[in-house]
Structure 1
Amino acid sequence: MDASTPKPPRMPKAILFDLDGTLVDSAPDIAAAVNELLAASRLPPLSVAQVTGMIGGGVRKLVERAFAASRAPLAGEALDRAERDMAPIYLRHLTRLTRLLPGAREAIVHFSGAGIPMAVATNKPQVAARTILLHFGLFERLGALVGGDAVTHKKPAPDALLAALEKLGVAPADALMVGDSISDVKAARAAGMPVALIRGGYTETPVEELGADLVCDSLLDLPAALERPAVAA
């Protein structure tokens, strides 16, 4: 970490969370949606593990990767149609198989009680993300939610992070992005803010190799990690 890279504040003035792979394990529901879409094209199902590796980049990228993995690659208008077909399917598979990841509720409750504003910045469509957060009783504790369809450029671009911080009224250098993948790291760096990664998310590369300022085993460890002197700016 060079001198120009922001360091994680001892306790940030705001925290942004990724959703899929950070707060929730949504891979089983996403796989179910993907397989329903593939079945309509008479293509065989993909495993949850296969689909997990395709998460990140939004619904369009998910559809593109799924058809490519099924040896039926799509582009142009064909991909446009598949993305439109996926929209209602995706919304039918949001909370049946999705589960909160360890420490997610505890971390949100902790930081809420400490008066630290929070937001979710995700590539998931806004309506889908809101439905999941409402389902788990987390939405009301957030100051903002920015989905992938609410900004011009999805992560790893910084748009969603900057939009969320604007809603919270906090400068990037005073906030912390919490995610699970290289997309979150790149988005945070582009936004000019420090980033923490949680193990066990949707990345094939070990989180220690992704260049985060802080790595935690789970969200249960995040509050204490931010309070340790070694993490202070």
Structure 2
Amino acid sequence: MSGSVDTSFRLPKAILFDLDGTLIDSAPDIASAVNELLDGRGLPPLTLAQVKSMIGNGIEKLVERAFAASGRPLSRTGLDEANREMAPIYRRHLTHWTRPMPGAVEALARLHVAGIRLGVATNKPQVATREILLHFGLLERLGAIVGGDAVTRKKPAPEALLLALEQLGTEPHEALMVGDSITDVEAARAAGLPVAIIRGGYTQIPADELGADLVCDSLLDLPAALNGVRNAA
């Protein structure tokens, strides 16, 4: 069975997607950027698994965690300086090793054809998000794109989700958040949305233990799982 469904769950008019670990596998590029930053400070590289565990709360938190894992935790001033250093490095590592997650392209196409409004709510910066989505041909399917720097507070705060829904002209109770981590679950709950989790993302907590309304093995299973919800309703 591709997904487990809460039978009280309703078919959405709009779906918001997280980006990293949900629509795209960006960890290799992010690891390359992190290790370039660390190398410039004379620090050894982190493993891909280490960097994966740090993704999800924005670049600033990523940089903070990377230096802490390297045994060189930074002061507030040092962290500000490292983030300024990271910005151009990060922009050079957006699409070289990054790939769409399994089923992402097909799922967005099917949901778009079905008339469901689609958007992205991510902690990744807005410009970087648009560049990645354009590179992989996903931009045209999306009616709203909200990056972490487009709101005052990043996920797990609800602002990005609420702004994306406003752009899509959809109320929270008519929508669904699709992500891969506890950050997405908490953001969805704070915004009043049901939430689906896709296995295989960047969560350190097993997908079935995140408290989502729906869990799917991949994005390719999402349209069928939602049709199951429609048939159960």
TM-score grouping bracket, smaller chain normalisation = over 0.9
TM-score, scaled to structure 2: 0.95
User: Which residue number in structure 1 is paired with residue 40 of structure 2?
Assistant: 40
Structure 1 position 227, deviation (Å): 1.1
Paired with 1:146 and 1:232, the residues of 2 have a C-alpha distance of: 32
Equivalent positions of 1:66-81 (< 5 A) are: 66-81=66-81
User: Which residue number in structure 2 is paired with residue 60 of structure 1?
Assistant: 60
User: Which residue number in structure 2 is paired with residue 116 of structure 1?
Assistant: 116
User: Which residue number in structure 1 is paired with residue 151 of structure 2?
Assistant: 151
Structure 1 position 8, deviation (Å): 2.9
Equivalent positions of 1:136-147 (< 5 A) are: 136-147=136-147
In the alignment, is the contact (CA less than 8 A) between 1:179 and 1:197 conserved in 2? yes
Gaps of at least 5 residues in structure 2 are 1-5
User: Which residue number in structure 1 is paired with residue 85 of structure 2?
Assistant: 85
User: Which residue number in structure 2 is paired with residue 203 of structure 1?
Assistant: 203
Could you give the per-residue CA deviations for residues 89-129 of structure 1, whole angstroms, max 9, x where no partner exists? 00000000001111100110001111111000000000111
2:152 match: secondary structure: coil
In the alignment, is the contact (CA less than 8 A) between 2:21 and 2:201 conserved in 1? yes
**CA 1:167–1:128: 2 relative to 1, 3 Å:** same
User: Which residue number in structure 2 is paired with residue 224 of structure 1?
Assistant: 224
User: Which residue number in structure 1 is paired with residue 9 of structure 2?
Assistant: 8
User: Which residue number in structure 1 is paired with residue 3 of structure 2?
Assistant: none
User: Which residue number in structure 2 is paired with residue 105 of structure 1?
Assistant: 105
Identity fraction in percent:
70
What is the Cα-based RMSD across aligned positions, in Å?
1.5
Paired with 1:191 and 1:7, the residues of 2 have a C-alpha distance of: 18
In the alignment, is the contact (CA less than 8 A) between 1:15 and 1:119 conserved in 2? yes
Equivalent positions of 1:157-168 (< 5 A) are: 157-168=157-168
State the one-letter code of the partner of 1:62.
L
In the alignment, is the contact (CA less than 8 A) between 1:158 and 1:187 conserved in 2? yes
**CA 1:144–1:196: 2 relative to 1, 3 Å:** same
User: Which residue number in structure 2 is paired with residue 27 of structure 1?
Assistant: 27
2:20 match: secondary structure: coil
**CA 1:126–1:188: 2 relative to 1, 3 Å:** same
User: Which residue number in structure 2 is paired with residue 185 of structure 1?
Assistant: 185
Paired with 1:65 and 1:188, the residues of 2 have a C-alpha distance of: 24
In the alignment, is the contact (CA less than 8 A) between 2:188 and 2:194 conserved in 1? yes
In the alignment, is the contact (CA less than 8 A) between 1:21 and 1:200 conserved in 2? yes
Q: For this pair of structures, how many residues does the alignment match?
A: 228
Structure 1 position 75, deviation (Å): 2.3
